[in-house]
Amino acid sequence: MDRHGIALSILSLNSPAIQAIPDPRAAAETARRANDALADAIARRPDRFAGFAALPMQDPEAAALELTRSVRDLGFKGALVNGFSERGGAVLYYDDAIYLPFWSVAEQLGVPFYLHPRDPLPSREPIYEGHPWLRGSAWAFGAETAVHALRLMASGLFDRHPRLTIVLGHLGEGLPYSAWRIDHRLSKSPRGIPARQTITTYLRSNVYLTTSGNFRTPTLLDAIAEVGVDRIMFSVDYPFEDTSDAAAWFDTAEISEDDRRKIGRENAAALFGFALIRDL
Q: Which residues are catalytic?
A: 237
First-to-last alpha carbon distance for the chain, in angstroms, is: 9
Q: Provide the b/e sequence for 172-184 (b: ≥16 CB within 10 Å).
A: bbbbbeebeebee
CA distance 171 to 242: 17
Give dist(CA 80, CA 78) in Å, integer. Answer: 7
**How wide is the angle at C-alpha 207 spanned by C-alphas 261 and 98, nearest 5°?**
150
In the chain, count H helices and then E strands.
Answer: 11, 9
Going by their DSSP bridges, the two strands 90-92 and 85-87 should be labelled as antiparallel
- Give the DSSP H/E element, type plus range, for residue 252: helix 243-252
Q: What is the CA radius of gyration of the chain?
A: 18
Contact by Cβ (8 Å): 210, 167: yes
Contact in structure between 19 and 118 (CB atoms under 8 Å): yes
